[in-house]
Structure 1
Amino acid sequence: MKILCANWQADDDAELEREHFPGIDFILARSTNDRPAEISTAMCQAADAVINYSPAHNIAAPAAAFPNVRIAVRSGVGFDNIDAPGWGARGIPACNVPDYGTTEVADHALALALALTRGTFTYANEIARDGASGWHFAKAPLLRRHKGAVFGIVGLGRIGLAAARRAAAFDMRVIFYDPHLLSGVDLSTGYERVHALADLMQLSDIVSIHAPLSEETRGLIGAAALAAAKPGLVLVNTARGPIVELDALEKALRQGNAAGAALDVLPNEPGDLDHPLIAAWRRREPWIADRLIVTPHAAFYSPAAMRDLRLKAIEVVRAYLADGRLTNCINGEFLR
């Protein structure tokens, strides 16, 4: 069994994978932040399966270039950068790894929200920069009480549900918007369901995004959604960057439709660091200082999560090729 590891990014040479799956031959095609891995014709022809390890790049070669591949996997939760229709047209399942890093992303989302609404990063920065003159409890602009606040979730999947449980532990009222969940989910979870994004925005003090990127969700949090926002809204995005329109978010923050935002993901990574919103934050312009946090697409990460991800991605392939057991298929609608 030969697995092409496209856009391989780990520093090692798949020692972990080779230790746990000694019967598999791993072909590593390394990528960089700037460009996807170059995949040779020999690599394409040799592979029985292909795994894409990059959160930013797709596989450089098209599905048709892999004559022997029987399964394609995105090593991660998001599957916007795997050619689901292309693989499906050839009768090849495309899969993801949805059951890793759930606690890490949910923890990160709550940590970002709390950093803004309890001012922890503001206080530390003020003291580090200004010393005694920065030692004051009123320096943070977005402080509020969490008990009774409304925590809105876009997408109540594994991670959204984990974030909901954490918010509820802070005595926040949890509501959610997810048009793809079956009726009655609110009854089983105890969280309140709204059936329009505008309603979620109008009711929520904090909105946390946990939806996959698709044509439906691309630009979902744009001008219309932000115009409906409750005064004082804090927006948190640990899902996919293109779900939030940065231009619309900048305008909303400047005009006061939103009070603050925390972004672990950007539409283009890391190229959006020069976007006017991010550039203003980096310059600490007064209108955005202490109202925005940016982290480097790190919500998923912990050493334990990475170990889970690496092994689970291989297990998805092995289960299908060795046992005929298909798991986490995301392109069933395209399979012939």
Structure 2
Amino acid sequence: MTSGRPREKGSPGDEEAIETAVANLSDDEPALDRGSRSQKAFAGASCSACVSDPRDDALLTSVPEQERSFARDHLDGARIERRELSPELAREHAEVSILSPMIHDPVTVETLEIFEDLDAIVTRSDGYDHLPSEWMRSNDVQGFHLDDYATESVAHHAMTFILASLRRVPEGMAMTLDEDAGWDRSTLMNRHLQDATIGVLGTGKIGSRVVEILSTFGARVRGHDIDPDSSLEQRPGFAYADGLEDLLRDSDVLTVHVPLDETTEELIGERELNKLPEGAVLVNTARGGIVDQQAVADALGEEQLAGYAADVLPGEPDPPDLELFSGHDRVMLTPHLAAYDERTTNARYEYTARVVDALLGDDEKTLRRFRVI
């Protein structure tokens, strides 16, 4: 992997050329971060007395304006782009060896093949199902995710959905705003958290944190995971179910915390929803493709489900299934907000910098923690 390109010693006129090149940089240039453009100016001025920042070998795509300060704080010297990944953008930065996209970037084989010496992709997300893993393995391109950077935030979002659904907040809001409804709360008897059984599907880092919070609240919690965490069974009120079907039968609220892969795609469909108690609530803060959206809409219409809350939908950022839930006052949908707060956004760029610097410095211990491909 190329980790920075040293430049040869320059001539006495280099300093003046650098000043001229930097002065000509436009503050309102739309795409590339000014720090990286300064390095380009140095290179254009033949300043071989200067050595480029090794991070200039890393390209971050889809960095919105409100996140640029976080990116600069942790990844000063890297190439920071507002634009999403595309063949055109890849051609502009074809020489980089580290690519860091967001989860909604179209990371296609066609685009990746444009890069001349791509060594690693560092997705700025915990999930990595959007990466072309088979192509990456066959082309010796490493893949890294940001393990555990958003655990607390996603767990909090799931808890918000669980509590708001049990307390019938969406329906209560709709009634309050409806001048003809008359505040007839007799139709909105809600459920106490401690009188419901909460099923946690997937007890990895996020799922186990949800279990811990629910246990602290005094809730009855059941879990299911292909690799159970025996330490969770010390938590008051928690026990593992005897398989998925047992979990479904017990869950007044089912909250989903498994990764999306070929074994979990549409894991929750019509059959699974019909095994839940009548009037159950489904919460999904994992990946949209785990849940069959049409089956959920049908279950809501048949009142098998009393509520649905999701922060993730198939086809983001333009999910095709939104019309299925139009007009439902028992549905809460948010646009992948669970990991979007200042603390977690800062952690996203901090963790990205850890991986980028580990790649540049051959820090195998750090790379082992974050490597997924």
Deviation at 1:36, TM superposition (A): 5.3
For 1:116-135, list aligned pairs within 5 A.
Answer: 116-130=165-179, 133-135=181-183
Deviation at 1:89, TM superposition (A): 1.9
Matched, 1:113 2:162: yes
For 1:151-300, list aligned pairs within 5 A.
Answer: 151-179=198-226, 181-182=227-228, 184-187=230-233, 191-272=238-319, 275-279=322-326, 281=327, 289-300=328-339
Q: Where does the alignment leave 5 or more consecutive residues of structure 2 unmatched?
A: 1-53
Range 208-217 or range 99-108, more displaced: 99-108
Distance across 2 between alignment mates of 1:255 and 1:105: 30
Give the secondary structure class of the aligned counterpart of 2:179.
helix
Structure-2 residue corresponding to 1:41: 91
Distance across 1 between alignment mates of 2:229 and 2:347: 32
Range 157-166 or range 265-274, more displaced: 265-274
Distance across 2 between alignment mates of 1:308 and 1:270: 22
Q: Is the 8 A contact 2:144 2:372 kept in 1?
A: yes
The one-letter code sitting in structure 2 at the alignment partner of 1:233 is A
Structure-1 residue corresponding to 2:127: 78
Deviation at 1:229, TM superposition (A): 1.2
TM-score (norm 2): 0.76
Q: Give me the CA root mean square deviation.
A: 2.5
Structure-2 residue corresponding to 1:138: 186
How many residue pairs were aligned?
Answer: 314
The one-letter code sitting in structure 2 at the alignment partner of 1:250 is A
Question: Which of the numbers 77, 81, 85 marks the counterpart of 1:28?
Answer: 81
Distance across 1 between alignment mates of 2:253 and 2:308: 9
Range 76-85 or range 267-276, more displaced: 267-276
Distance across 2 between alignment mates of 1:263 and 1:54: 17
Quote the sequence identity (%): 27
Deviations 1:212-233 (Å, cap 9, x if unpaired)? Answer: 1111111000112112111221
Distance across 2 between alignment mates of 1:25 and 1:183: 39
Structure-2 residue corresponding to 1:285: none
Matched, 1:17 2:94: no
Are the structure 2 counterparts of residues 108 and 117 from structure 1 closer, same or farther at C-alpha, using a change threshold of 3 Å? same
Deviation at 1:56, TM superposition (A): 5.8
Deviation at 1:140, TM superposition (A): 2.8
Deviation at 1:323, TM superposition (A): 3.6
Distance across 2 between alignment mates of 1:38 and 1:196: 48
Matched, 1:3 2:58: yes
Give the secondary structure class of the aligned counterpart of 2:308.
strand
Give the secondary structure class of the aligned counterpart of 2:122.
strand
The one-letter code sitting in structure 2 at the alignment partner of 1:184 is S
Deviations 1:273-326 (Å, cap 9, x if unpaired)? Answer: 6545223x2xxxxxxx43211112211111111111122112111112214321
Deviations 1:21-76 (Å, cap 9, x if unpaired)? Answer: 44x33152612xxx8574232412x2120111133633574544333222211101
Distance across 1 between alignment mates of 2:229 and 2:207: 17
